Amino acid sequence: MNLADRIASVQAQHTDHRHTFDTPAHARMRESVHDTLLEGLRGRDVIDADDFARDVRSAVSGALTSDETSLPAAERARLAQGIADDLLGHGPLEPLLRDPTVSEIMVNGAHRVFIERHGVVHPTDVQFNDEAHLRRLIERMVSRVGRRVDESSPMVDARLPDGSRINVILPPLALDGPTLTIRKFAADVLGIDDLVSVGTLTTDAAEFLAAAVRGRVNVLVTGATGTGKTTTLNVLSSFIPSTQRIITIEDAAELRLQQQHVVRLESRPPNLEGKGEVSVRDLVRNALRMRPDRIIVGEVRDSAALDMLAAMATGHDGSICTVHASSPREALSRIETMILTGGADLPLTAVREMVVSAIDLIVHQYRAADGRRRITAITEVTGREGDVITLQDVFVIGSDGVLHPTGVRPRFLDTFLERGDDLSRVHLVPTQAGRSGVA
């Protein structure tokens, strides 16, 4: 990193945080650390991140040792960690990012920070000094991953080096100040047994979905924001054979496939001149030339839906993607709307025929008031009757809050049996609770 930039950064951090701690001893300690760092940096032309981190820790240690004020050991440790967080990490957010129980961080301006823990949103006492402090942190975060955010480009999706996904929107679009949302990158990759253990789905439904993915059924995962669609997509992808070539396409990469033969593609926004954009649709088109066995799209949002459906319907069976929707039926309507508003000169009948040819199964889920994620329906796309796409539920959530088979036998199961697939563990006999209705 350029020396001038590093010194300017340290000086800005000094200005931001000199009033963070409320005692003279704290302020003096922080000032001593900053002075030591600035003095050391002036003697060098270039400094990299590792060298700077060592300098920060050395300066903090030296300031704590030479300080004449008697501070308890715990207070010294807290002060040292706070200074290191300001200069090396993400300032006031660093403790939240380190907390493994926090899954999402929502910053609504400089003085309101909320977190999601175990699916439930809670307020915190974390604050930034002012809007300028928050904006400097945001700019540092997005610049580290080659993105930018400013008045000319006030919205950005990006990811942190650890894989966590961030979204930023600035004033004047955000009326109450800069807004930052961080969806943290889970340390552990969940498996199908984990989803069963927390009640997201049942063992029978899990076995059915595993057979469907292995059998190259095209799957659409639907649900509202924060319902766990990406987690479910990750789990479903684990059943793809390791011998197959998988292409993943995302706006901000967060999928974590465990197979070896995976090619990860990520879209790119336009540069300062408005050029160089690479959209999800561009990547889907390019993926078709990469000899994929499976294509996985993290989220279909726009005209990419047309290319994704074309890929599913023309030989790339077993593909998986997600769509924001409140029900399986609405998911299909949203896809139709994306195609028609994306400039495709196609009649609605042709679009619906494409949907029927491309999508075999819809997995819909939601988040309950207690934060738990539930798959509420596993629905087969069966065809068309006139202008209406016909659906039938294979599994549906009952009045007991548990996913039950409806007794419907999907058409593609016969194909599996003819091919010799072992479906002995797939049980589709409805239970009494399952017959009692949808919750």
Q: Which pLDDT does position 255 carry in this prediction?
A: 85
Higher per-residue pLDDT: 11 or 235: 235
- Token pair in block for residue 138: 């945001």
- The DSSP call for residue 430 is P
What strands lie across the sheet with 120-123, from one edge to the other?
Answer: 120-123, 113-117, 102-108, 179-183, 165-169, 155-159
Q: What does the alpha-carbon distance between residue 287 and residue 25 come to, in Å, rounded to a whole number?
A: 59
> How long is the chain?
439
Whether residue 162 has pLDDT greater than 70: yes
Q: Which two tokens stand for residue 285?
A: 């088109």
Among the listed residues 420, 365, 343, 352, the one whose alpha carbon sits nearest the alpha carbon of residue 391: 352
DSSP state of 270: -
pLDDT score recorded for residue 119: 82
Q: Identify which of 32-36, 197-201, 301-305 has the greatest average pLDDT.
A: 197-201
Check whether 376 has a pLDDT greater than 60: yes
Report CA 339 to chain centroid distance, whole Å. Answer: 24
Question: What percentage of residues in the chain have a pLDDT greater than 90?
Answer: 38
Give the domains, in start order, of the chain with CATH numbers: 3-88 (no CATH), 94-183 (3.30.450.370), 192-435 (3.40.50.300)
Residue 237's nearest CA partner among 209, 207, 263 is 209
- CB of 156 closer than 8 Å to CB of 267: no
Query: Is omega for the bond preceding 123 within 30 degrees of 0, making it cis?
Result: no
Q: In this predicted model, what pLDDT tens digit does every residue of 356-367 receive, in sequence order?
A: 999 999 999 998
Paired tokens of 185:
């990158």
User: Where does the pLDDT of residue 310 fall: very low under 50, low under 70, confident under 90, or very high at 90 and above?
Assistant: confident
Nearest Cα to Cα of residue 411 among 330, 363, 356: 356
Q: Does residue 9 register a pLDDT over 60?
A: no
Lowest-pLDDT range of 279-288, 345-354, 412-421: 412-421
Residue appearing with tokens 């979905």? 209
Query: For position 425, what pLDDT does the model report?
Result: 75
- 305 or 22, higher pLDDT: 305
Q: Per-residue b/e over 316-344, b at no fewer than 16 CB within 10 Å?
A: bbbbbbbbbbebbbebbebbbebbbeeee
CA dist., res. 16 & res. 3, Å (int): 20
Q: How confident is the model at residue 321 (pLDDT cuts 50, 70, 90)?
A: very high
Q: Two tokens at 372? A: 């738990």
pLDDT per residue over 164-196, tens digit each?
A: 889 999 999 999 899 999 988 776 778 999 999
Distances in Å between the alpha carbon of 190 and those of 105, 193, 195, 320, 323? 21, 8, 8, 18, 21
- When pLDDT is averaged across residues 11-33 and rounded to a whole number, the result is 54
Share of the chain above pLDDT 70, in %: 78
234 Cβ neighbours under 8 A, 6+ residues apart: 189, 190, 255, 256, 257
Backbone angles phi, psi at 353, to 5 degrees: -65, -35
Least confident span in 159-163, 310-314, 359-363: 159-163
pLDDT band at 378, cuts 50/70/90? very high
Name every residue whose Cβ is closer than 8 Å to that of residue 50 and which is 6 or more positions away in sequence. none
* 234 token code pair: 């990750």
Three-state secondary structure call for residue 21: coil
Q: Average of pLDDT values for 98-113?
A: 92
219-223/361-367 β-pairing: parallel
Helices (H), 162-224: 192-197, 203-214
SS3 content of the chain, % helix, strand, coil (to 5): 40, 20, 40
Please check the confidence at residue 66 and state whether its pLDDT lies above 50. Answer: yes
Run of H or E including 362: strand 361-367
Per the CB < 8 A criterion, the answer to whether 338 and 297 are in contact is no
Residue 21 has pLDDT above 60, yes or no: no
More confidently predicted of 169 and 316: 169
Per the prediction, the chain carries an average pLDDT of 82
DSSP code of 93? Answer: G
